[in-house]
Amino acid sequence: MPAIPVLLDLLKEENDQMRMAAALALVRIGDKSIHPIREYIASADDEDCFWASWSLALLNSPLEEKAVAALYKAHKDSTNPIEMIAAEEALGKVIGNQLKQ
Which among 46, 49, 20, 45 has a CA at the least distance from the CA of 37? 49
CA distance 89 to 6: 25
Which among 86, 54, 48, 84 has a CA at the least distance from the CA of 68? 54
List the domain boundaries for the chain: 3-100
Class of domain 3-100: mainly alpha
Q: What pLDDT is recorded for position 47?
A: 80
> Residue 84 carries which side chain, given as an amino acid letter?
M
Task: Say if residues 68 and 57 touch (Cβ distance below 8 Å).
Answer: no
Question: In tens digits, what is the pLDDT along the chain, a chain of 101 residues?
Answer: 899 999 999 999 999 899 999 999 999 999 999 999 999 999 998 788 999 999 999 999 999 999 999 999 999 999 999 999 999 999 999 999 888 87
User: Between the CA of residue 66 and those of 1, 15, 60, 93, what are the distances in Å?
Assistant: 25, 23, 16, 16
